[in-house]
Structure 1
Amino acid sequence: MSRTSIVNIGLFLAVLVLAFFIAKHLVWDKPDTTDLSYRTPVYKLDAETVINFIQNEDSNNLKAEQVIEVEGVVKKITYLNNRITILLGADGKENAFVICDMESNQAEKVANVATKDTITLKGVFKGVLEDAIFLNCIISE
């Protein structure tokens, strides 16, 4: 094989590997591509139970990356940085929330939700800081 052929094969392989990594980064790793509408939740809990878990540091049953369905009373809806976030709370628990970062395709449904409404959200549990954090949330029907 000539030296030119080896260089051409090497360049072709380098371009192929680069294209793979670009496609992986731009398409497959996007957090908003998680469609939870067809995923079955691991748990169906109310917001008070989730808040009790985190306040009692007993959230060992809740594992990161699990799909969980949470029902609760809407305490606040925010629209910061083009993201919709719903905070679910429980009676008597004014300092702890279930924070649900909503999927962008849920904007129309969220427009019909008001504070003090009771709703059910399905999302990917990410962990606990002061509150329980859920991403890619959708409003369950």
Structure 2
Amino acid sequence: MKTKKYIFFIAALLLIMFVIKYAYTPAKSVQTENLRNKVPELVLNSNDLINAYLIDEEKSNKIYAGKIIEVTGYVEETTLLNNRNTIILASKNKSFGIICDINPNFTTEFNQVQKNQKIRVKGICKGFLKDVILLNCSIELTPNE
């Protein structure tokens, strides 16, 4: 009888320890993960990405949303939107662009970006809200052609 109580006590103690560990250990956030060394699932230019969403948003969400994609384009604007470094990539369609929320690890690169500069960003596509949204982006200032 003592053995059963002892085993139950140890199992309960281990369960409590695991619950406490996972409750107080933050999960690795996708928002702060450095994507620089991650292999993108798709590589394309800003015009192709915008056009895909304009033609069929639902189909494009199935293809791009939630995936790491690499996009090459020209900088239309840099902002500090909501205290986040943000780059807007231009497209041939002047009404739409790609909003790139830059990972805080890339502040140095962000500060070097110039308007109309060709750059490559890698981020997680979240979808389309008048513009395509990429989160947690890394920046490559001199993309190879």
Smaller-chain TM-score bracket: 0.7 to 0.9
Gaps of 5+ in 1: none
- Structure 1 residue 64 and structure 2 residue 65: aligned? yes
Instruction: Report the TM-score when normalising by structure 1.
Output: 0.81
1:74 shift after superposition: 0.8
1:20 matches 2:22: yes
Is the contact between residue 54 and residue 131 of structure 1 (CA under 8 Å) also seen in structure 2? no
1:86 matches 2:90: no
Retained in 2: the 8 A contact 1:46–1:70? yes
Displacement of 1:77 in angstroms is 1.0
Instruction: Work out whether residues 77 and 87 of structure 1, in 8 Å CA contact, stay in contact via their aligned partners in 2.
Output: yes
1:122 aligns with 2:122: yes
More displaced stretch, 9-18 vs 42-51: 9-18
TM-score, normalised by the number of residues in structure 2: 0.79
Q: Which residue of 1 aligns with 2:75?
A: 74
Aligned to 1:108: 108
SS of alignment partner, residue 69 of structure 1? strand
Aligned to 1:35: 34
**Partner Cα distance (2:65, 2:102) in 1:** 17
> What SS does the corresponding residue of 2:115 show, helix, strand or coil?
coil
Cα distance, 1:110 vs. partner?
Answer: 0.9
Aligned-residue Cα RMSD (Å) equals 2.4
* AA at the equivalent of 1:116: N
Report SS of the residue matched to 2:38: coil
